Structure 1
Amino acid sequence: MTAKQDRKLNLILCWHMHQPDYRNYMSGEFELPWTYLHAIKDYTDMVYHLEQSPKSKAVFNFVPILLDQLEAYVADFDSKKMSDPLLGLLAHEDMNSLSDAQRELILEKCFRCNHVTMVHPFPSYKRLQDFFNVIDEQGEACMSYLSGQYLADLLVWYHLAWTGESVRREHVLVTQLMAKGEHFSYSDRMGLYDLIGNLMRGLIPRYKALVKAGRIELSSTPHYHPIAPLLIDFKAARECTPDVALPESPTYPGGKSRVAFHIESAIASHEARFGEKPHGFWPAEGGVSDPLLNLLAHFGVRWTATGEGVLVSSLRKASPGSPPPEKKQYLYRPYQVTGQENKVTCFFRDDHLSDLIGFEYAKWYGRDAVNNFVHLLEGILEQAPQGENPVVSVILDGENAWEYYPYNGYFFLSELYEALSAHPSINMTTFKDYLDAAEKSESTATSKAGSGHFAKMGNLPGLVAGSWVYGDFSTWIGSTDKNRAWDLLCAAKRSFDHVIASGRLTQAEQEAAYKQLSDCESSDWFWWFGDYNPQNSVESFDKLYRENLTNLYQLLKLEVPEVLSQPVSHGGGHAEAGGAMRRAS
């Protein structure tokens, strides 16, 4: 066998699992249901595919605030007191006694999904939708004619449509309810309610079992998913986009210490849940900067990752005026920033391959998509520089894409893992395992050119701050709405600092205020602001953001600014994938 034939492509699939905190800390209720819905559909299916493919490896990045919410749901099921009003209605005994608000909640929420893949394939669910459309055309007054049985059937079908394909294949109750189709009884609803509880109880233990078996790596993100480079310094946005408009506030007060808190809290959360510190971080939105890299190094983080655009910008800055190299010459290797005392290894995702899975392959036949993906990987290996064993990072949302695939991506993912794990020239690995093996090889000095399965380590004089979306921060800052949201947060943080310094709050009151502040710092609120996103989604997140800030002022025992009664953004666009995902370029 020649050296060229002996080469391997190292493939790292990293699935990012995240939902922002949908809880209203004052009422104690979940205001949006997306955490538990993705749990029973996507988090269950994703772990199932790894369980079924013992030769495969992958990285799952769980944001701590998502884990906090999953545990809160489990606690609700165990205590038999549900704080999610929509899920609680599934267990409501008399559907004819619902309040107007409860009826409105069901009708507002239970058609929110991709109708092509999650409503139309089920004739009984589609009949419910068609009937609702007829009633809706007659005006709001006619909604009172919808019976309790209609609402019960709609609730059941919504939750059936949100079950993962693996759940349908593993739990006979789901197929029985789908076959029944209508006239669901209280017993039917309670059976489905209990199944959801059991799925959520078993979810994290299933991932932990795969970690213990050495099959997956679990990584983390700063705890409440803040866009760290901007929290540290708004001017980071101008490293990649020099003329971007910034908020009126010159900087976020105490931003660096707040980012340090989110990192330290995430490490503690990970260690408490999984028995070890995370080896790596996918920073929120893949947002990186030199100051963030220094903080990660300070806390002993071994690796981080971001988008291809950040690497391109950083290489251009390092060699101004030089012609851009070909992708094969720079992308498929890890990098370290020179001058760091404790070096953090940086991986950069292949934007094209990641976007194919996120947006394009849903439109293909599953096997054709898999064959195309494998063919592209073979091309990367074939074109790699002599003596190099490329490392290809494919990193994307692990939950939102599958809603657009037939059968929640079941056949695509099954065949993908099967093809990759059986391929003689593809080595499925994780960031941790790759670094462990590379360090061991280096320490024993046994690696040879064309063998050992490692890529040459690249060096950068520094990072140009940016994210995985377009390589910049335009998704979170720069527009009128986004900047206004930042200014509202900065004003609240200045008030927070003043009250905390005054000593007026008890220890318990301070802890509640800190928790609420952390939630306000999430990147997700800024993601949704803008007229290019769908109106319903923007209104939901806008309302929750302003409620969070309102709650913060109340916890600080301050008067709530009148401005928080006015929407920050209205939306009205038709973003791809409902706005929940972005292409990298």
Structure 2
Amino acid sequence: MHQPQYLDGHTGEYALPWTYLHAIKDYVDMAAHLEAEPGARAVVNFAPILLDQIEDYAGQVSAFLKGEGEIHDPVLALLVADRPPHEPSQRLNLAEACTRANRQRLIEPFGPYRLLADMVSWLKQHPDYVSYQGDHFFFDLVTWYHLVWLGETVRRTDPRIKPLMEQGRDFTPSQRRLLLEVIDELLGGLLDRYRRLADSGRVELSFSPYAHPIMPLMLDMASAHEAAPSAELPLSGQYPDGRARVQWHLQQGLESFERHFGRRPAGCWPSEGSVSDATLALLDEAGIRWSASGEGVLTHSLRQGRDEELPEDRDWLYQPYRFQDRELSLFFRDDGLSDSIGFRYTDWHGDDAVGDFVHHLEGIGQRWNRVHGSQGRGALVTVILDGENAWEYYPANGYYFLSALYRRLAEHPDIELATFADCLNVSPRESLKHVVAGSWVYGNFDTWVGSRDKNRGWEMLIQAKQCFDRVMAQGRLTEAQVEAATRQLAVCEGSDWCWWFGDYNPAGTVSLFERLYRQHLVHLYRLLGEAPPEELSHVLSRGSGEPAAGGVMRQGQKTDG
């Protein structure tokens, strides 16, 4: 589970609503599925900057309902507003924001919402008419938006929701407030649910570095050449004092995690599975017991210095590794199985998808046993995927698939669900003397560096970091100002910004993220008491593509087309 910082520090408002929307839909549903199956075991990874945002949203909503504060997210605030904004462009922007949902799964199944969404599409083509839309149009729209973004388990179990969906229109202020009360309960109780799952042993909680940076590139930009020797790197060169920044993200990440969950994590999913020798050494020095990455990283690492291909039985994938002579254990993602859940099964009947998944697992186990015998340990299969974005492409937010998946796996006589901590003592633990630097996406860093727009994003960040270092050396900021600027720098170092830069991504999404990135950098300069460079007022990247899942997810290996 991870989201970047959507809070615009200058305006004090959330620029995009994805943190709380995924919280009330995907994070809530996943907790419910794990709670419902006593035999379930899973690792759930949280980026600390996401945890802090969930906490902030929960505090804002709770305070508002007590009459003690305001909600600083325009979409969520509209749900309980007395009036929508008066200015036509604001009304249209909010209306458009309330239709950002998967058309097939979250709009089409609900007739009243589909009608409203179609009207928004027409208004975008005829913006002069938006001022003639009555207030009830916006209130019905925002109510439906939050109803469809509720978790399927919530819609099925909370008796307050069904009457609203059956009514369909003309929602009253008291009904909209009731919906906000449901959201308040979901946000306020979410992290406690995962804490209880961890206490019961069903879930292992792990963390990522604080603001989700790509650590290998911060440590050594040239590490991108290990898996992609021809990649063009930013003209600015190395990231200034990258080692200290990585250590900051790790330390702050651990502190945030412990504050929210009351425990120290055993493992770290490095942002986007991005690893290198230097990164893994720092994790080991921080006392982290396990880390994980993608299949591509392992294949690159095992092939280095070998003339022959890796064995086709893929036994090399189904075991943990030890990093050098250290205590750190490494696990690697089965791309085929993981991407089947993320992409291939979305249109399957839930039982058929689970049957196919289990069939593949059984095949892996049978091949393993033919070679190694059935008396020792079995194949250790690692499945890792996006925790939030896959499910809106499934019917009912993946309800049927996930319910059947955990039940079938827990009941299967030859399959044992386990967490990474459960597997730390599994042998044999072959040693990887050198890990070829890369991420879970294609086994390289092409998603974050190497193209014109991505490199420009890094160059802007490096320039800001150089300014940060100059100001810090001058010693003219107060302790509070230093803290604010340091945390804002961390926000700018997050991985999501460069993820979106590139013409292969959708234009609308690229625009939202690249603008927010520039706003974050501008705010950093303001906190430093420096004038932002003029180039931050210009668009950095424009998209025009239509990638799978709208670009929010990637597959572990490149596919044709």
Task: Name the TM-score, length of structure 2 as normaliser.
Answer: 0.96
**Structure 2 residue 341 is the aligned partner of structure 1 residue 357:** yes
**Which SS does the other structure have where 1:395 is aligned?**
coil
Counterpart-to-counterpart distance in 2, 1:560 and 1:134: 38
- Does the 8 A contact of 1:229 with 1:291 survive in 2? yes
Counterpart-to-counterpart distance in 1, 2:490 and 2:400: 39
Aligned residue among 358, 371, 380 for 1:391: 380
Aligned residue among 276, 288, 294 for 2:263: 276
- Residues 494 and 184 of structure 1, relative CA distance in 2, 3 Å threshold: same
Aligned residue among 44, 48, 58 for 2:42: 58
Partner of 1:103: 91
Partner of 1:77: 61
What is the Cα deviation at residue 100 of structure 1? 3.2
What is the Cα deviation at residue 174 of structure 1? 1.4
Aligned residue among 273, 277, 287 for 1:290: 277
Q: Which moved more, 1:186-195 or 1:347-356?
A: 186-195
Counterpart-to-counterpart distance in 2, 1:365 and 1:429: 26
Aligned residue among 438, 449, 462 for 1:466: 438
Counterpart-to-counterpart distance in 2, 1:94 and 1:88: 10
Partner of 1:512: 484
Partner of 1:338: 324
Written as runs of structure 1 = structure 2, the 5 A alignment for 1:517-536 is 517-536=489-508
Structure 1: gaps (5+ residues):
1-16, 439-453
Written as runs of structure 1 = structure 2, the 5 A alignment for 1:78-477 is 78-80=62-64, 81-95=70-84, 98-137=86-125, 139-317=126-304, 319-340=305-326, 343-384=327-368, 385-387=371-373, 388-435=377-424, 438=425, 454-477=426-449
Write out per-residue CA displacement over residues 9-36 of structure 1, whole angstroms, 9 at most, x where no aligned residue: xxxxxxxx01111001122111100000
Partner of 1:483: 455
What is the Cα deviation at residue 356 of structure 1? 0.1
**Structure 2 residue 2 is the aligned partner of structure 1 residue 18:** yes
- Does the 8 A contact of 1:136 with 1:142 survive in 2? no
What is the Cα deviation at residue 548 of structure 1? 0.7
Letter in 2 for 1:150: F
What is the Cα deviation at residue 559 of structure 1? 1.2
- Does the 8 A contact of 1:283 with 1:305 survive in 2? yes
What is the Cα deviation at residue 309 of structure 1? 0.3
What is the Cα deviation at residue 132 of structure 1? 3.0
Counterpart-to-counterpart distance in 2, 1:106 and 1:227: 33
Partner of 1:442: none
- Residues 181 and 458 of structure 1, relative CA distance in 2, 3 Å threshold: same
**Which SS does the other structure have where 2:201 is aligned?**
coil
Write out per-residue CA displacement over residues 294-345 of structure 1, whole angstroms, 9 at most, x where no aligned residue: 100110000000000000000011x4212322252200000012244xx210
What is the Cα deviation at residue 130 of structure 1? 2.5
What is the Cα deviation at residue 135 of structure 1? 4.0
Write out per-residue CA displacement over residues 25-52 of structure 1, whole angstroms, 9 at most, x where no aligned residue: 1221111000000011000000000000
Runs of 4+ that moved beyond 4 A: none
What is the Cα deviation at residue 265 of structure 1? 1.0
- Residues 128 and 379 of structure 1, relative CA distance in 2, 3 Å threshold: same
Give the structure, 1 or 2, with the largest relative contact order (CA under 8 Å, sep 6 or more).
1
Counterpart-to-counterpart distance in 2, 1:325 and 1:124: 55
- Does the 8 A contact of 1:219 with 1:279 survive in 2? yes
What is the Cα deviation at residue 249 of structure 1? 1.3
Counterpart-to-counterpart distance in 2, 1:338 and 1:59: 24
Written as runs of structure 1 = structure 2, the 5 A alignment for 1:34-53 is 34-53=18-37
- Does the 8 A contact of 2:91 with 2:130 survive in 1? no
- Does the 8 A contact of 1:86 with 1:105 survive in 2? no
**Which SS does the other structure have where 2:456 is aligned?**
helix
Write out per-residue CA displacement over residues 188-232 of structure 1, whole angstroms, 9 at most, x where no aligned residue: 111111111111001001111111111110000000000000011
- Does the 8 A contact of 2:51 with 2:260 survive in 1? no
> What root-mean-square deviation, in Å, do the aligned CA atoms of Structure 1 and Structure 2 show?
1.2
Counterpart-to-counterpart distance in 2, 1:125 and 1:559: 45
Counterpart-to-counterpart distance in 1, 2:86 and 2:122: 22
Counterpart-to-counterpart distance in 2, 1:337 and 1:301: 12
Letter in 2 for 1:323: E
Partner of 1:33: 17
- Residues 327 and 244 of structure 1, relative CA distance in 2, 3 Å threshold: farther
